[in-house]
Amino acid sequence: METFLRTWLEWPSVAAFVARYTWAWPLGETFHFFGIILLIGGVGLFDLRLLGVAKGLPVATARRLLPWGVTGFILCVVTGFMFVAGVRANVPASPYDVIKSNPWLQLKFLFIAFAGLNLLTFYLTGMDRAVDELGAGDDAPRLAKVIAAASLFFWLGVIYFGRLIPEAL
């Protein structure tokens, strides 16, 4: 399995592309940050509304921003893959070794997984349908608030641990 992952993470050679084109890494960072803005902007506003911020805003209006959050997440996944697979362009280490040894990257992945499980909980518990009925001024159910707070915590943790990744390279 290790051999498969080592090979897969270095094929096609993203590191060679990043090393050859000096604009690739900063452009990837720009798109990664833009993805974070879309993700936190869309999902974060929705979560804050569920927590009672901007209660005059109907939940259905805030929910319209969620596709932008999904777009931001996809941008972050694509550019994040480029950073991991292309790490050899910046440091003399294989992507597999970086994943295996960088605690901040591992925590970032863990928090992304927690955010995904939290989202799954939101849908499996029916909170998605419960909050759809909320109009301006209505309070979200307690479970929806807990899920929204956890979502904010996990996504802010993803950003925090992401900023620490270069420190361990």
pLDDT, tens only, 49-97: 999 999 999 999 999 999 999 999 999 999 999 999 999 888 999 999 9
- DSSP designation for 12: S
* C-alpha pair distances (Å), 30 with each of 7, 111, 115, 128: 27, 22, 23, 32
User: What confidence score (pLDDT) does residue 7 get?
Assistant: 87
- DSSP designation for 138: P
User: What confidence score (pLDDT) does residue 106 get?
Assistant: 98
In this prediction, residue 31 has a pLDDT band, given cuts at 50, 70 and 90, of very high
Q: What distance in Å separates the CA atoms of residue 68 and residue 63, rounded to the nearest whole number?
A: 10
With a cut of 90, say whether residue 13 has pLDDT above it.
Answer: no
pTM of the model: 0.93
Contact predicate 115/43, CB 8 Å: no
Measured from the Cβ of residue 67, the count of other Cβ atoms closer than 10 Å reads: 11
State the amino acid at position 55 in one-letter form.
Answer: K
**Phi/psi of residue 98, nearest 5 degrees:** -65, -45
* Locus of tokens 């996944």: 77
Show the CA angle centred on residue 164, arms to residues 161 and 169, nearest 5°.
125
Q: What distance in Å separates the CA atoms of residue 46 and residue 62, rounded to the nearest whole number?
A: 5
b/e burial code for range 27-66 (CB count within 10 A of at least 16 → b): ebeebbeebbebbbebbbbbbbbbbeeebebebeebbebe
